[in-house]
Amino acid sequence: MPITLPEDLPAYDILKSEGVMVMSPGRAAMQDIRPLRIGLLNLMPKKIQTENQFARLIGATPLQIDLSLIRMSDHESKNTAADHMASFYRPFSEVEASGERFDGLIVTGAPIEHLPFEEVTYWDELTRVFDWTQSHVHSTFGVCWGGMAMAWHFHGLPKHLLGGKAFGCFRHQNLAPASPFLRGFSDDVLIPVSRWTEVRQEDIDARPGLTTLLASDEVGPCLVEDPGHRALYIYNHLEYDSDTLKQEYDRDAALGAAIGVPVNYYPDDDPSCLPTNRWRSHAHLLYGNWINEIYQTTPFDLADLRLP
């Protein structure tokens, strides 16, 4: 089954050309089935790239997905055209006022990890989003800084600045092979990492409501489950395209920034070579498992979502 997207959204043609099943809202309305309603709160500067990455993953399951794009109400995007934002995104304040509910919500990362959470300009509204998920979203997936922010809000889990950027592809261990979210996962998983901060396992261990599912000896915890808030937090980037780390490296190198070649990414660590994608299958497994778990547990009528 396909993911439902507006036909003029850039992701529609891109995903269709890749063989992902996409469907226009008009065609979807003719099907006698309730699609899963998934929201994407997109905090990344490159909105279209991020839309494509997540739509590609959640649109690869056998279920019909209705994707809604959401933005912070008073934060103006500087890297995406205003007409794109006006055409495809709704401010959270509008979504909140509508009273509508979602089967799932993805909260992306944001390039602001050097700031204390409370100094982020939209922090107050973002905490409203997190609290709103507890009555209006069946399952929430916080990605990178988005996951760190959620864990800080709900558990006081701190983030720590690193001495240097964790940058490249790192081996991770499957710590919970019986988890439904890791169904089909190998014991050892390669995952792209790009961050200046980390959460630490000892801090997670001090919070009984959190369980680490994937972790790396080199870059620490990766995937954390928070069943009490019906949430997953992933601190690394399985959703990345093959060349996303390359784009970041080329950008920083062109600016003369102190940036090392991403670890274990280019063949022979040679940035003149094209990188090889070795994480795509696990990306589809993780997000497919998340969608499947939502489908198995969400109420047919979203009005029946559990209230706090």
Catalytic (active-site) positions: 144, 237, 239
Structure tokens at 72: 């912070």
Rg, C-alpha atoms of the chain: 19
Asked whether the CA dihedral 234, 239, 242, 243 is positive or negative, the reply is negative
Angle between helix axes 47-58 and 280-297 (nearest 10 degrees) is: 70
**Helical ranges in 137-273 per DSSP H:** 145-155, 201-205, 244-254
Q: CA-CA distance, 288 to 12, in Å (whole number)?
A: 19
Structure tokens at 236: 């690394």
The phi, psi pair for 38, rounded to 5°, reads: -115, 130
The strand pairing partners of 232, in sequence order, are 141, 225
Q: CA-CA distance, 31 to 128, in Å (whole number)?
A: 34
DSSP assignments along 76-130, one per residue: PPSSS-HHHHHHHEEEHHHHHHHT--EEEEEE---S-TTS-GGGSTTHHHHHHHH
**265-268 long-range contacts, Cβ below 8 Å, gap at least 24?**
265/168, 265/169, 265/192
